[in-house]
Structure 1
Amino acid sequence: MTTGRFARHQRLLTSSDFRYVFAYPRRFNHPSLTMLVRSNHQSFARLGLAIPKRHIKRAVDRNRIKRQIRESFRAWQTKLVGWDIVMMARSGADRLSNRELHDVLELHWQKLATLCADS
């Protein structure tokens, strides 16, 4: 997908999709965001978001984080072909500025792109 859209087939939608990733993931940690990935054997990457109210209290903060993650994913999706990705927010993610959040996401995507190149 080069249109930059976030189509339905690029999302993890069902609990079985999430269970598949949670079963045996590769994990990339940061104090505010954790990325879990697992190969999906398809010609595109899929993204799921786990931004719990328990960690991020205000809806406006949860929505901002989700929006930033989706936007960053759109920019990187062509380099991440063949992976199911779940981004999980931890406590304190709401205190990151948009710039800091962008930098954390870039680090995660670069690590995954390196993993893709090695595979």
Structure 2
Amino acid sequence: MPFSLLAAPRAASAWLYKPESGEVDQSFARRYRLTKTDEFSSVFGFRRAIRGKLLMLHYQPRAAGMTDARLGLVVGKKLLKHAVDRNRLKRIVREQFRLRRASLPVMDIVVRLAVKPAPLDGKQIADDIVMLFDKLQRPRPKRENE
């Protein structure tokens, strides 16, 4: 069967991307993801977190020489029973990360659901993650004893 752009529009659009044209790459490629258990453990072990209304954002600065922020997601069945809801939450967070990745500091970020949302409201989740990303971008004031 011959290849058709109509049959595979998503795959075809990825092939048409040309970095030399100056377009901004807004994909959620593998290099922007935390994939290994050790990477997640490292971020949780660093013990820095920001809490929102629904979500908690754990973060760790990346090693020198790295240029991109990476995202990992943890959504347990205990807080969202239905896979549809867990996947929707992850889709919303990934999309907000994808849109703001260029302006985020070079960090490994793990986002997890902190409280059980009564009804799953996409707007509230998007607002919460945007607020967390904004807090992450602001420099932390130094304490007197540091």
Give every structure 1 segment of 4 or more consecutive aligned residues whose post-TM-superposition deviation is greater than 6 Å: none
Matches within 5 A, 1:1-119: 2-41=24-63, 42-93=66-117, 95-115=119-139
Contact kept in structure 2, 1:12 and 1:48, CA below 8 Å: yes
1:79-110 deviations in whole A, cap 9, x for unaligned? Answer: 11310000001332362411111110111010
**Bigger fraction of residues in helix:** 1
Overall identity of the aligned pairs, in %:
32
Distance 2:68 2:40 in 1: 16
> What stretches of structure 1 of length at least 5 have no aligned partner?
none
Q: What is the TM-score of this pair, normalised by structure 1?
A: 0.89
**Bigger fraction of residues in strand:** 1
Q: What is the TM-score of this pair, normalised by structure 2?
A: 0.74
> What stretches of structure 2 of length at least 5 have no aligned partner?
1-22
- Number of residue pairs matched by the alignment: 117
Contact kept in structure 2, 1:44 and 1:83, CA below 8 Å: yes
Bigger Cα Rg: 2
* Residues 58/21 of structure 1: CA separation in 2 closer, same or farther (3 Å cut): same
Contact kept in structure 2, 1:2 and 1:78, CA below 8 Å: no
